[in-house]
Amino acid sequence: MKFTIKRNAFIKKLTDVQRAISSKTAIEILTGLKITATENSITLTGSDSDISIENEISIDDSNYELLIDEPGSIVLPARFFSEIIKRLPENTFTIEVNDHFQATITSGQTEYQVNGVDADNYPHLPEIDTNEQLSIPADIMKQVINQTVIAVSTQESRPLLTGVHLTIKDGELHAVATDSHRLSQRKVKLSGAENIDYDIIVPGRSLIELSRMIADSTGNLEIQIAENQILFNFDTTAFYSRLLEGMYPDTDRLIPQSSETEIELNAVNLLHAIERASLLSHEGRNNVVKLSLNSESQTAVLSSNSPEVGNIEEELQFDKMTGNDIEISFNPDYMRAALQAFGQAEVKLSLTLPLRPFTLMPTEDSEDFVQLITPVRTY
Amino acid sequence: MKFTIKRNAFIKKLTDVQRAISSKTAIEILTGLKITATENSITLTGSDSDISIENEISIDDSNYELLIDEPGSIVLPARFFSEIIKRLPENTFTIEVNDHFQATITSGQTEYQVNGVDADNYPHLPEIDTNEQLSIPADIMKQVINQTVIAVSTQESRPLLTGVHLTIKDGELHAVATDSHRLSQRKVKLSGAENIDYDIIVPGRSLIELSRMIADSTGNLEIQIAENQILFNFDTTAFYSRLLEGMYPDTDRLIPQSSETEIELNAVNLLHAIERASLLSHEGRNNVVKLSLNSESQTAVLSSNSPEVGNIEEELQFDKMTGNDIEISFNPDYMRAALQAFGQAEVKLSLTLPLRPFTLMPTEDSEDFVQLITPVRTY
């Protein structure tokens, strides 16, 4: 294998593929980056066996100034290789692999020799044996991910809850995540998916990496689903993730259908107030803040009290409040994560009783996005 | 105590004083920030008993919009207090302390109450009982510090070597640091110090913090030295540091007075080459790179070899080389730190024998600054 390529452009693709490569893996060869060169393109592959990422660079893409002298393949230590490439002195570099799996990397007066491994020993990527393909705009998928992964469980004791439950039915995608203290649910219409039917659980970590990778992508994600794998194709990238196996709990019945008290306010203002209150709650023994709503006097007060350290009280600005008076206590970290997912929007909090879950919805398009938080008992 | 002040301006002073405050101190009250208000100013004090920093804000300084309603003092938990101040909603805040050492911090609709401690329990700052005062431009002092602290020892086993040895004599300041593997020495003329004579050791950590604080300072540092303390005054800040007690080893005799081989090159170019070579040496068992100088063929080659991982070889650009051929092996981390201290300058390496220390000096003003590195035996 031998090729020459522009360094900066290559580094971007390398960084993407490295998202899948962990130095902590038990499978030695997976700490490596697989590079394959054909007559027309090179392909970078990284995998931690849960996530696999493949990125192709074509000789036709002028950004890379790619010149392939000799096809072939090699596996190189990923972190070390990427540090070398980042430090090379010139704008381009050449990599040449000999029969002993040694790669010579040349750039200007610098010449590295790096010991590699036969690419034939690298695990095969999953096979996706379906012709059914879904399409979704990358920015929408990113939104769906970021609005739901926040509620995913980080506890491995209930592995299914570490995933996001995706159901595709009647041309709609439902995404739900819950760690049993809070829940986030997002719905999106999918065009051209009327006859497609899926019910899968994708690991939250996979979706977070995917979301970071599609950061600036403006095109569509093409999605293919097999028995225990999902494949996202976009730009020149193939992103594979393992699926979680099992029956996700029924979450529809958890979301309250009515409420006794409603308040509408700006998500960012409430977020800042929550951040101020949580400074105090984090210092105390219980990480709890209290929201006191009084319809008659039209006051909304956020407070937290940790006798050892001090207390905070803040009167909130709001747009509208109706219904019964209520005092409700909750974990401010859940509230903060929920509010961040609303961006600049106006949100409606709907509450019933002090110990019953309450919901947050955008005041506009409230059908499509709902978050639920379970209060904390403080007495 | 009660005063109102502009938040952003206050935060800057607070951040400065916090440099001296550690949450890991064994003395509980030193995790606190002391605030004292008189009729005309407020003073912030932080200390970890090695370093103490005092910062004064006057009502005459219009940047602070400081209004003092009632003099007094308090000690508040430093980290918590600073997080609160950073998160407050308005541009100004008011702090009021009651008889029970409780501080009420108000900004807009937000009101924090924070439990404090009686400032009478806070340790007194060191007394500096001298009228002798030295003056040095802040930017020169910063340079002296940054060029010498790099060679300070991080091992507590020889505590004196964790400091920088400062001698002031005949109107000149000599600063020397060595960890016994390398040494850095800087000399500066001090105007108006002809009759002043000091020989002290200042902890490297103190000087690093001082250097960070004077980052943008354009004025002079006023220095006062007492038996076991040094005080730096600049702008509105008083920076105290404990001195290390003992006899610093004689370092003058360590610096070779002659050389067999000399090479002149650009510090930045060599630095980059060293960084590339150290990528490899860091992966291997011995962290060593080799410099091979050949006067006759006029080649300078930097290389490193770690059989498990690979090797690197790079031909260096240089301006001038004279003397005997030599191969010398050294720790690239020492070389990197040394080169960083030269900035963009041209440097001269002077070498004698493969196992004898070699020196780095700027090609201009070579009298004032010298660094020394001890090679590594590789056979």
> Is the Cα torsion angle A81, A86, A88, A92 positive or negative in sign?
positive
The C-alpha atoms of residue B270 and residue A86 are separated, in whole angstroms, by 17
Q: Is the pLDDT of residue A361 over 90?
A: yes
Residues B245 and B300 reside in one and the same domain: no
In a domain, B293, yes or no: yes
The CATH number assigned to the domain holding A265 equals 3.70.10.10
DSSP A126: P
Same domain, A109 and A139: no
With respect to residue A127, please indicate whether it lies within any of the assigned structural domains.
no
Residue A280 has pLDDT above 70, yes or no: yes
Residue B349 lies in a domain: yes
Read off the pLDDT of each residue in B145-166 and give the average, rounded to a whole number: 96
Cβ <8 Å between B272 and A313? no
What is the tens place of the pLDDT at every residue in A249-258?
999 999 999 9
Out of A279, A313, A316, closest to residue B87 by CB: A279
Query: Same structural domain for residues B110 and B140?
Result: no
B80-85 average pLDDT score? 97
Tell me which residue in B80, B308, B313 faces A309 most closely, judged by beta carbons.
B80
Q: Scanning every residue of chain B, which has its alpha carbon at the shortest distance from the alpha carbon of A306? A: B114
pLDDT digits (tens, 9 = 90+) for A58-69: 999 999 999 999
In a domain, residue A180? The reply is yes
Residue B146 has pLDDT above 70, yes or no: yes
Asked if B279 and A84 come within 8 Å (Cβ–Cβ), the reply is: yes
**A334 in the same domain as A273:** yes
Please identify, among A218, A252, A286, the residue that sits at the C-terminal boundary of a domain: A252
**Same-domain status, A335 and A259:** yes
Please tell me the least confidently modeled range out of A267-271, A284-288, B317-321.
Answer: A284-288
Beta pairing, strands B289-294 & B299-306: antiparallel
Query: Chain B residue with minimal CA distance to A316?
Result: B109
CATH number of the domain to which B11 belongs: 3.10.150.10
Q: Are residues A259 and A360 part of one domain?
A: yes
CA nearest to B173, candidates B155, B206, B197, B138: B197
**Average pLDDT for A284-312:** 94
Say whether both A245 and A338 belong to one domain: no
pLDDT digit string, tens, across residues A102-140:
999 999 999 999 999 999 999 999 888 888 999 999 999
C-alpha A340 chain-centroid distance:
14
Please indicate whether, in this complex, the C-beta atoms of A311 and B280 are within 8 angstroms of each other.
Answer: no
- DSSP E strand boundaries for B190-309: 198-203, 220-225, 229-234, 237-242, 261-266, 289-294, 299-306
The pLDDT of residue B156: 87
* Cβ contact, residue pair A109, B308, below 8 Å: no
In terms of Cβ atoms closer than 10 Å to its own Cβ (0-12, 13-18, 19+), residue A288 is buried
Are B311 and A113 an interchain contact pair (Cβ–Cβ within 8 Å)?
yes
Tell me if B275 and A88 make a contact (CB, 8 A cut-off). no
Kindly state whether residue A328 falls inside one of the protein's structural domains: yes
Q: Verify whether the Cβ–Cβ distance A308 to B89 is below 8 Å.
A: no
Q: Is the pLDDT of residue A291 over 80?
A: yes
Query: Quick check: is A28 in a domain?
Result: yes
Predicted pLDDT of residue A131: 84
Residue A318 exposure: Cα atoms within 13 Å on the Cβ side? 27
CB contact under 8 A, B314 and A280: no
What pLDDT is recorded for position B361? Answer: 97
**What is the domain range of residue B138?**
134-252
User: Do A243 and A262 belong together in one domain?
Assistant: no
Closest A-chain CA to B105: A312
* Contact residues on chain A for B274, CB-CB shorter than 8 A: none
Which of A112, A308, A314 lies closest to B109 in CB terms? A314
Whether A262 and A244 share a structural domain? no
Residue ending a domain, among B252, B276, B292, is: B252
B214 to chain A nearest CA, in Å? 31
Locate A94 and state its tokens.
């050449």
Number of neighbouring beta carbons within 10 Å of residue B360? 23
Q: What angle, rounded to 10 degrees, do the helices at A267-283 and B78-87 form? A: 170
DSSP state of A295: T
- CA–CA gap between residue B55 and residue A224 (Å, rounded): 62
Q: Are residues B117 and B6 in the same domain?
A: yes
Identify whether residues B112 and B167 lie together within a single domain: no
Report residue B172: phi and psi, to 5°: -130, 145
- Cα–Cα distance measured from residue A69 to residue A94, given in angstroms and rounded to the nearest whole number: 10
Domain membership of residue A116 (yes or no) is yes
Contacts of A117 in chain B (CB under 8 A): none
CA distance B307 to chain A (A): 9
Which of B76, B105, B276, B313 is the best residue to mutate to test the A interface, defined by the most A CB atoms within 10 Å of its own CB?
B276
The pLDDT-based confidence of B136 (bands split at 50, 70, 90) is: very high
What percentage of chain B exceeds 70 in pLDDT?
Answer: 100
Q: Are B357 and B331 in contact (CB under 8 A)?
A: no
For residue A80, the chain B residues in CB contact (below 8 A) are 279, 283, 309
Judged by CB atoms closer than 8 Å, whether chains meet at B111 and A283 is answered as no
Instruction: Please give the residue of chain B at the shortest CA–CA distance from A283.
Output: B80
The chain A residues in contact with chain B (CB within 8 A) are 77, 80, 83-84, 87-89, 102, 109-115, 272-273, 275-276, 279-280, 283, 308-317
Q: What is the mean pLDDT of residues A15-27?
A: 93
Judge: A308–B115 Cβ closer than 8 Å, yes or no.
yes
Residue B378 lies in a domain: no
What is the pLDDT of chain A when averaged over all its residues? 95
The alpha carbon of residue B85 is apart from the nearest alpha carbon of chain A, in Å, by 10
**What pLDDT is stored for residue A129 in this prediction?**
85
Q: How far is A185 from chain B (nearest CA, A)?
A: 30
Contacts of A275 in chain B (CB under 8 A): 87
Q: Which of B121, B148, B183 is the last residue of a domain?
A: B121
pLDDT of residue A25: 86
Q: Are B114 and B21 in the same domain?
A: yes
d(CA B245, CA B239): 19
What pLDDT shows up at residue B286?
87
A·B CB contacts under 8 A: 78
The single-letter code of the amino acid at B221 is L
Residue B379 has pLDDT above 70, yes or no: no
Show Cβ contacts of residue B61 under 8 Å, excluding neighbours closer than 6 positions.
none
pLDDT tops 80 at residue A142 = yes
CB < 8 Å to A314, chain B: 109-111
Q: Which secondary-structure segment (H or E) carries B288?
A: none
Residues of A in contact with B114 (CB under 8 A): 309-310
Confidence of residue A193 (pLDDT cuts 50, 70, 90): confident
Residue among A205, A251, A246, A198 at smallest CA distance from A223: A198
pLDDT of residue B144: 96
Per-residue pLDDT tens digits for A198-240: 999 999 999 999 999 998 788 999 999 998 999 999 999 999 9
Contact B312 A112 (CB under 8 A): yes
Task: State pLDDT tens for residues B219-239.
Answer: 999 999 998 999 999 999 999
Report pLDDT for B365: 77
Give the one of A80, A89, A312 whose C-beta lies nearest to B272's C-beta. Answer: A89
* Mean pLDDT over the full length of chain B: 95
Average the pLDDT over A35-52 and give the result.
97
Domain count, chain B: 3
